[in-house]
Amino acid sequence: MKSKYDWFDDNWNPDVKLSTIIHELLLSPTYRWPMRITEVHIYKDESTCAQCPRCKGSIEYEYQFFCGRCWQRLDWFRFEDAREIYIGWSGPKDDEEDDEVD
């Protein structure tokens, strides 16, 4: 993590984007705070793999308390609403296919 003073240049103008500062301020103590799972990858064999919200690594087991890679604590609240991302395929086909939109 950058020191607070690295965020400003010699004229005390912010050297980084405000969003970065906020992100870094929030970052350090948050490993113990659950982060919500918001993405799940779905593979062609329809196996699913939740993605760690911090390191984007795959989470091995559903509903495990921590990410096995970065130890971020995980929150599975409303996991069923997580964004589904199809890996290597375009998802289950509907019966009717929409024509391509220009």
Interface residues toward Zn ion, by CB under 5 A: 52, 54-55, 57, 67, 69-70, 72
Q: Taking the complex as a whole, how short is the minimal distance between the CB of residue 32 and Zn ion, in angstroms?
A: 14
Instruction: Give the separation between CA 35 and CA 70, rounded to whole angstroms.
Output: 12
Question: Based on C-alpha coordinates, what's the Rg of the chain?
Answer: 19
Of the pair 7, 67, the CB lying nearest Zn ion is at 67
Q: Taking the complex as a whole, how short is the minimal distance between the CB of residue 10 and Zn ion, in angstroms?
A: 37
Q: Taking the complex as a whole, how short is the minimal distance between the CB of residue 34 and Zn ion, in angstroms?
A: 12
Of the pair 16, 54, the CB lying nearest Zn ion is at 54
Inter-residue contact 15 to 8 (CB < 8 Å): yes
Inter-residue contact 51 to 60 (CB < 8 Å): no
